[in-house]
Each structure stands twice: as structure tokens, then as C-alpha cells.
Structure 1
């Protein structure tokens, strides 16, 4: 690290990623932080002046890939574990990485606002995940997790003027959808979810390092899965502030959004529906053939973290309306998400921890449902006791609303 080289940054990110996906995020955070500071000292976040040198393109692409790896891990840590984000976007003018850099046939896009004109390659995944990271980074402002986190004048979302939060959520809501619409067909999960390119881990092991259409299709399928999960997680992250606000208010009370001039007739229910839909779509991966092959890749921890977030979301939604019309579907989705964690727990410590928490949350949800059923006939003297039990449940689930994975 004292050399301050590009290789030092790469080593920090590789080692930090290993720690992050193997259950030790507190160790990953300072290691990745070292990589970030070295990257900034090398000005990896700044655009290089074009040069006629034959090696310029290769050097520039290596720098860009390294920087966007730093940006991605910084954003992922902030969104997942609530760590402060230490990158000022206003200080960064580096271009996106070029998915066709190895082909050397097209010019790198100047910014994420420009359409991606090159053909799809295995590097396209990194371009799209980097772009989603910039969207997620902006969403973190709703939680006041960012480079300005130390500014005490920037209050948490639930303490801000609620119409302002509603407008911000509505503005952010469309950005992940636009991003998802830009994905190439090979990276669209709905296009490849049912495909089977390898039947077993052993078959993959025999083909490791291979090239050709079959191997590339398998890699595209893995990339499509991780992009799909990251997209659904971004949707939950966008709407979670209003979900948190809904927990803190009386469901029967009238919010400011119901008054004339409000942004939406019922933005809180829209956010609840968006969170439920994203979590349920995440749970659908349990029945996909690829899940059996994920366990031997880094994607096992990635899948575990995102399905845990979806599971907590469904647990909270179930506790808010235990006997509602969507209660059965919500609990079925929670069960599927625990099924994903069960499949991965032998290969990922993150899945082990997530499964234990989701099982405890499911028990709380069922206890809450039983309480609601028994409320009709219980003596009035027991009502305060039941209310205290409900408050305990809400307090437990509310702690999981923060952009981190609970006690993991």
C-alpha cells in the first residue's frame, strides 16, 4: 500500500471483496477504504488527457475499471451495512468503462448519460452494475448516508418535511426502471431464467477456463441474475423511507399526502406495493435451475445478502397487515426466500446468518397474526399487554429497515 500503485488498489478491492462476501464486513470496510484513498491519490476518479501513445487506451481502461470497482464496493457497503459513503460525485469526471475495450473498435462512452453503442460483451455487466451504483448512491441521500453524513443539519428522512420525501422518492423511482430497460437481451433475467447450460457443479468444473458460446452463455446468465437482484434491491431501497414512515404512524391517520395538492393520492401504499413486488420477484429465484450452481461462485454471498433484504421486507409487510388480502402471498414469498438461504447456507456464512434472522422474524410474524386473530375474544384487561407485544415486534422489524443487514 505504501507504493501507492494501481496494483495496490486492485489488491485492496479484491481482499476487501473477499472479506465482504465471507461474513466479515467490518474487516472489509477499512481494507476497501485504503483502496479508495490510494485510488484518489492516483487520481483514478479524474479523466485522463488523451494521448497518442499506443498504450494509452489499455492504461486508461485499466484505471477506469479499477475506479468503478472501488465505487461499486463503496456503494454496496453503504447500502447494505449502513457505512458512510466517502465519494463526492462532484469531484469525479472519469468516463464509464468500455465494454468493448478488448475489441478496440468503438470509442468509450463519455458518460452514463450517453447511450451504449457497442456490442454486448462479458464486460457489459461491469458497465451496467457501475451505472446502477451511481443510481443507488443518489438514493442513499434519502438515508443521509453519504459524503455529507457528518453534517448534523442533514436530518434522517423520517424527520424531513414529508412532502419533500415523497417527491424525492417519486423522482428516484423511475431511474432504476430506466436502467433496467437499457439492459441488453443477454443480461435480461427474464430472457435467460429458464435456460440450463450446465447440469451440475462437476460439469462446470470440467469446463473451467473454457471459451465458446456455451461457457459465455452461462456467465451471461450469472450476470443477469446478479443484475436482477441488484435491481430489485434498488427498488426496495428507494421506497423504504416511506415504508419506515408508515410503521411510525397510525394506519388510520390521514397523512399530508391525502390533502389537496399532494404528489400522489396514496404514495405510502404505492411504496408498500413496490417493496412487496420487488421482494416477491426476488423470491422467485428459488425455482430457477441456476440457483443450484450459484453456491460455488462469489454470487452465493451476493444472492444471500439480497434475498435477506427481501425477506426482512416481506416480514415487515406481513406484520403491518397480518390478515390482509395479500398476507398469504407475502408469507409464501418469505418462505421461498428462506428456502434460498437454506440452499446456500452450507456454502456461505452470510446465508447461515441470514437464515437464522429470517426464521426468528417469521416466528414474530406468526405470533403477530395469532394475536390479531385472538383479539376478538380476549378480555379487555389483556389489551395493554398485547399492545406492548406488538410494539416489541414493530421495534424489532423497524431496526431492519435501515440500509444494513441487521446484526450481520
Structure 2
């Protein structure tokens, strides 16, 4: 079709005089909207099939949209959107404006949903049934998804993006994921992934914003669902959005100017940057090309790659503009200006994204650790000339990074992987100590994103606490997870995701308390008496009742390694012991997750049914081996491959939505 266009141009003819929409690529570019006479404008209801609110209510809801959604996801560009809105403000529109009207409907519906959940709704429109409008407007736009995707316009792409974000945050993640794929292909058909110099400055800026929103959505979906990326960085050359102020006021008589404008786009540019940094690791972990090729991405080379990306993430964090840096020691002040409120929320969003990526990108280390521990059960790998994953994870050869502490000050820290996990989870949980900021976040589109990350941080901390249930850190975890659980209860009024997260958290909390009790009441055995390089092993009678008081009190406040693993090995070094317990704690947490698709338990990597009431050392059913030995048996170690449940068509049923990254095996090898 491109060549055909060129041929027609040789004779100064325009090919689009005829209908060629059935040909792929026939009318996706240079579509000329015919000039309609004003008499051809119709009531909006006759164009989209349902009514919109009054003009006054629409203006109020658009302002609510800017306060609740736009700062978080810059799908629209205010100057372009404003001009289109003004053209339909009188309630009439051309049929060719249907996609924009559906975009407007989505914006109004999302705004009505958030406004209806605020404690103090605007008194001027308290008589409006905002919950009815929220449901009717979003459903009205969603019912015409097929027409939207067939339209292939900027407005149709914008509408699909908004509906996708609404679905993923309000209980329909599978629909959102499918919609992402369709939106990406529609955007590529429009050439949004390529930089263009044609058109007005405003239209170019709008195209950039739309594409980068899809790009970050694709990255977020990959780490959320554990699936391959849908956009290749090498296929895109779109420039970053510019810093441009936008006016959030749409009521009649509003004068657009710098006094009532806010710059939102710096946030979008920084969000783009962090996902670009993390993309190589995301692609490596979830890419199709890495399935079944563990040897290529395991070992020191992969470790160095992860550490390099970690350093880049910290460099990004330390180079953020000051207004987008979240101060974890100071709560949100109620008397802040409108721009300051927006930037405070954007800073929180960036901090949550940063810490979540730190956790995700370093998750594969644990799978490598399982393999290393079983191949070197006696810890003799430390004498090797090369460094094992333990060395790097334990901080023996870490890469120094500039990491801010919880107080916000910068300190040179050399953090092991588990410490990176711990500090990232702890920073995320700090929002529970800032009630004003948390309240502000619950009233915006950040609410479900906050819920996801709070859930992730709680699971990380529980895993670390389970590996050493009597440590000071474990006690801190119990206090922190209490605050997270209570905040999630409040967030549950806004998003179903929080309600379901707390169902899982209840189970893992019970597991943590049970493990703590078992550690306290664990039997005392002589083999637990610690020795150091300066002391000789004591000759202790086989009768454990004859142990001295001193020897008894020297026992570590944790499970004996043999008790946890159920493995027959004489002795392992302290670091191997610690990381073995960490992996087994993670496997234990997996069993607390609910059932996945078609009743297959997403966390069950052994094929046995786990009974929470039976304790962590037992699994119900025919398999009665110790739980850790069952989860990590010798026959399942090669290639980090455990048996995963598949349906008759070979589809992996083990990934349970947002819980995917707690799977024991991250590269999901398949015969």
C-alpha cells in the first residue's frame, strides 16, 4: 500500500478517493475527515448510544480526573483535549468524533468513581448519583471496545489505555492484559512507536505521551503478570515528553494561564527512564528466548549484570529532581499547594516503582542459590577460584551502590541481595507511618498500585522473618505487617485487590506466628552447640539432658538446620545455612497462596496438598516427607526446573495473577 500511494502521487492523484479500508494499511494514515456541515452534528446520545452528564457536571468531573488520575497516567495532553472538549460542550458532535466521546466517557466515569468515594463530595453536585454515572459511563465505553480497536485513532488508543488501567485496578486483570496487547498493536499501526516531525507541536507531544504511557504499561504488566515484554526497545525511537504546564480547570469562565497550571510531565519522563533501565533484566527473566536456557544466564556473568542494573537504578534514584524525591521521614502537609500535592503523589509513585523493581530484578538469585546449595552441600565452594552466588548474595563481593537510608540521607552501603530486599520492602512500608499521604493516595488512581506494592513488601518481610523467626528483624516485621494489614483493610473499600491481598496476608501471618512458636518450643539437641575457630568442639554426652547450662544457653535462637531441611548432611557453613532457610521460607509462604486457575494451587510446586493446620514440617496427602525436602528434591534441581501443573493444552496453570514472582523457579523451563 505504501508503494501504491507513491505511484498515485506520481500522477498527482490521491488514492484515498475510494474506500480501501479492507486492505491492511489501506486507511491507517492520511485519513482525511470530510468537512461536515453544522447541520450534520447530532446529539451525543445518538452517536455513542447513551447520554453524558450535564456540561457543568462534566467540567467538575474532568477537574476531578486531573486530580485523581491524570497526574498518575498522562494519557491525554490537556491543550489538545481541551479544544476537543469545547467542540462538544454544547451536547452536539459529528459521528466522526465517536472515539473522542468514548474517551470523554471513560474520563468522566473514572472521575465519578473516585469522587463518589471521597469523604467530602462537592456540595454543588451532591444531588448527582456519581456511583451510577461511574458504572454507566465506564460500561458504556467498555461495551464498544471492538469499535474502538477498529477505529485506529489516537482517541481510541487513549480510551483503551484508560479502560485497561481501570480494569487491572478494579478486579479484571485478565481483561486488562488482553487489552494491552490490542492497544499496543493499534498504536504501532498508527506509527506511535516512531518519532515524527509532521504535525503541530501539540499533536507531536500528544503522540509521545500516548506511546510512553503504553510503554510503561507494558513494563508494569510484565513484572506484574510475569510474562514477556510486548514492546522491544530496539523498535522504538520516540523522544521523551517535554516539560509542559497544563491547566486542570475546565469550568465555564476559566482563564488558562501559568497561575493555574501544573507541570505533570517530568514525572512521566522519570517513569520512562526507570523502566528503560530495568527493561534488559525484565526481558532476560521473562523473555521467551531465556526459557530452558538456564546455563546461559546463570552464574557470575548474570550476577554482574544484575548488580550493574542495580547501580543504574540507584543512580536514577539519586538524580531525581528534588520535587520528585519522597521524604520518608516527613508526612504530607495538609496546607500544601495543588502543584505540591501532585508532586508529592508522583514522588510516592516513583518510590514504589523503584523499590518494586529492586525486589523483582534480584528475585532470580534465589533460584541460583538453590542449585548452588545442593551441588555444594558442605560449603566447599568458598575455596573455589570463582565466586558463587552465595558470595555475592552474602555481601562478600558486592557492588557498592549509593543507597539512601530510610531517613533519606545518602550513605555508601554494600548491600547483599537479601538486604536489598529488606530495605526496599521497609521503604515501601513507610507509607503506613505517613497517614496524611496514605489518605491522599487512597483518593486517587494510585490506590490499587499502592495496595499491590504494600502486599509485595509484606510478603518479602514475612519470608525474611520466617528464615529467622526469633530475630529482632522478625519482631519488627510483625509490627510493620500489622500496619500494612490495617491499611489494606481501609484500601479494601476502594479496590478489591486489597481485600483479596488481606486474605493471603492472614494466612502468612498465622504461619509466621506458628513458626515463631515452633522455634521457641523446638527441642534442644547437642548437635546444635555452636563452635568457633577459637574454641574446640565440646565433648558432650549423647544424653541431651546432661548438657550444661552454658552449652544450652549458647544454642542459636533459630531452627536447627537439620530440623528445617530434613536433609542428611553433616554440616554446612553459616551462609549456606542462612540462604537455605531463606529459600525454604519462601517455599513455605507459597503454600499459603489461594488456588489458581481451575482449582490448581498456584503455590504448590510439589504436587502435594499443604494443610496450614498441620504445621510447616508436614504436608497432607500421600506424601509425608518434610516440606522443604519435598519442595527441593535432588531430582528437581537440574536447570532449576520443578514440575509445574499444566492443563491439557499445555498452558501453565501455576502463575496465579499478581502472586507470580513467588514461584520457586523463575525461568519456568518446560520440556
Normalising by structure 1, we get a TM-score of 0.79
Conserved? CA contact 1:344–1:351, under 8 Å: yes
Q: Distance in 2 between matches of 1:323 and 1:34?
A: 50
Give secondary structure in 2 for the equivalent of 1:346. coil
For 1:84, the equivalent position in structure 2 comes to: 228
For 2:302, the equivalent position in structure 1 comes to: 165
For 2:337, the equivalent position in structure 1 comes to: 214
Q: How does 1:36-185 map to 2 (within 5 A)?
A: 36-48=184-196, 50-51=197-198, 55-100=199-244, 121-143=263-285, 145-146=286-287, 149=288, 151=289, 155=293, 160-185=297-322
Q: By how many angstroms is 1:162 displaced?
A: 2.1
Conserved? CA contact 1:19–1:27, under 8 Å: yes
Q: How does 1:205-284 map to 2 (within 5 A)?
A: 214-246=337-369, 250=373, 254=379, 259-262=384-387, 266-269=391-394, 270-284=416-430
Alignment of 1:372 onto 2:519: yes
Structure 1 stretch displaced more, 309-318 or 256-265:
256-265
Q: By how many angstroms is 1:185 displaced?
A: 1.2
Q: By how many angstroms is 1:135 displaced?
A: 2.2
Give secondary structure in 2 for the equivalent of 1:292. helix
Q: By how many angstroms is 1:73 displaced?
A: 0.9
**Residue by residue, what CA displacement relative to the aligned partner does 1:331-382 show, whole Å, maximum 9, x if unpaired?**
333333223312311111111111111221121122222223332249x9xx
Q: Distance in 1 between matches of 2:372 and 2:427?
A: 28
Count of residue pairs brought into register by the alignment = 366
For 1:209, the equivalent position in structure 2 comes to: none
Conserved? CA contact 1:136–1:234, under 8 Å: yes
For 1:332, the equivalent position in structure 2 comes to: 479
Conserved? CA contact 1:310–1:337, under 8 Å: no
For 1:286, the equivalent position in structure 2 comes to: 432
Q: By how many angstroms is 1:298 displaced?
A: 1.1
**Residue by residue, what CA displacement relative to the aligned partner does 1:151-189 show, whole Å, maximum 9, x if unpaired?**
3655359x8432223112211111111111121111111
Q: By how many angstroms is 1:287 displaced?
A: 1.4
Structure 1 unpaired stretches of 5+:
104-119, 199-212
Q: Distance in 2 between matches of 1:249 and 1:261?
A: 13
Q: Distance in 1 between matches of 2:156 and 2:465?
A: 46
Distance 1:171 1:8, change over 3 A: same
Q: Distance in 2 between matches of 1:17 and 1:121?
A: 22
**Residue by residue, what CA displacement relative to the aligned partner does 1:238-285 show, whole Å, maximum 9, x if unpaired?**
222224444666597538577434388832130000100110111111
Q: Distance in 2 between matches of 1:337 and 1:175?
A: 29
**Residue by residue, what CA displacement relative to the aligned partner does 1:69-98 show, whole Å, maximum 9, x if unpaired?**
111111111111213211111111111111
Could you say which structure has the greater relative contact order, defined with CA pairs below 8 angstroms and 6 or more residues apart? 1
Conserved? CA contact 1:304–1:351, under 8 Å: yes
Structure 2 unpaired stretches of 5+:
1-148, 248-261, 395-415, 528-559, 567-580, 591-601, 606-654, 662-671
Q: By how many angstroms is 1:328 displaced?
A: 2.0
Q: By how many angstroms is 1:323 displaced?
A: 2.7
Q: By how many angstroms is 1:308 displaced?
A: 1.0
Conserved? CA contact 2:278–2:357, under 8 Å: yes
Q: Distance in 2 between matches of 1:261 and 1:355?
A: 43
Q: Distance in 1 between matches of 2:265 and 2:210?
A: 13
Q: By how many angstroms is 1:325 displaced?
A: 4.6
Q: Distance in 2 between matches of 1:102 and 1:348?
A: 29
Q: By how many angstroms is 1:40 displaced?
A: 0.9
Conserved? CA contact 2:328–2:430, under 8 Å: no
Q: Distance in 1 between matches of 2:208 and 2:191?
A: 10
Determine which of 28, 35, 40 is the counterpart of 2:183: 35
Conserved? CA contact 1:257–1:267, under 8 Å: no
Alignment of 1:358 onto 2:505: yes
Give the helix-richer structure, 1 or 2. Answer: 1
Larger Rg: 2
Distance 1:317 1:102, change over 3 A: same
Give secondary structure in 1 for the equivalent of 2:337. helix
Question: Over aligned residue pairs, what C-alpha RMSD do you find?
Answer: 3.4
Distance 1:22 1:91, change over 3 A: same
Q: Distance in 1 between matches of 2:294 and 2:172?
A: 27
**Residue by residue, what CA displacement relative to the aligned partner does 1:190-232 show, whole Å, maximum 9, x if unpaired?**
189423136xxxxxxxxxxxxxx71111111111111111111
Give secondary structure in 1 for the equivalent of 2:151. coil
Structure 1 stretch displaced more, 37-46 or 329-338:
329-338
Give secondary structure in 2 for the equivalent of 1:97. coil
Structure 1 stretch displaced more, 367-376 or 14-23:
367-376
Q: Distance in 2 between matches of 1:403 and 1:246?
A: 24
Q: By how many angstroms is 1:35 displaced?
A: 0.7
Distance 1:134 1:44, change over 3 A: same
